[in-house]
Amino acid sequence: VNGALVACSSGCQAIVDTGTTLLAVPIRALRILLSRLGASSSGEISCEAARNLPDLIFHINGKEFPVPPRAYVLRNNGYCTLGLQGMDVPTEEGELWILGDVFIREYYVIFDRANNRVGLSRLP
């Protein structure tokens, strides 16, 4: 957020999941994100403040994948909420982040099951 590392200083695991609507992040990271973005503990933020939010930038295999506020701010009947949810899923490799629709809507995603990998490319 704004050039500052929020989590995963030693790396962590992430999966891309078409069955997850939001970004599911470790609870500790969620608290930091909500604070730095100026949202309440439930993720609510004024729609006025939401206009000035920064991109969330994910570093995956040495590449940057920005997610702009238009993707992670959910607007409904004049209210704005961040599309983040806290979820602790420990793995042997560290914390797990689940990149759901909030992330996916910004990229072409190719699931290469034969080679157990995911390809990502920015939408035009």
Q: Do the domain assignments include residue 78?
A: yes
pLDDT tens-digit series, residues 71-122: 999 999 889 999 999 999 878 877 899 999 999 999 999 999 999 989 999 8
CATH number at residue 50: 2.40.70.10
Q: Do the domain assignments include residue 2?
A: no
Q: Do the domain assignments include residue 3?
A: no
Q: What is the pTM of this model?
A: 0.86
Q: Do the domain assignments include residue 114?
A: yes
**91 sits in which H/E element:** strand 90-91
The number of folded domains in the chain is: 1
Q: How many CB atoms lie within 10 A of CB 17?
A: 14
CA 89 to chain centre: 15
Q: Do the domain assignments include residue 6?
A: no
Cα separation of 85 and 96, whole Å? 13
**Residues 16-43, mean pLDDT to the nearest whole number:** 94
Q: Using pLDDT thresholds of 50, 70 and 90, give the confidence band for residue 12.
A: confident
Could you list the residue range(s) of the whole structural domain that residue 20 is in?
Answer: 13-122
Q: Do the domain assignments include residue 104?
A: yes
Q: Do the domain assignments include residue 45?
A: yes
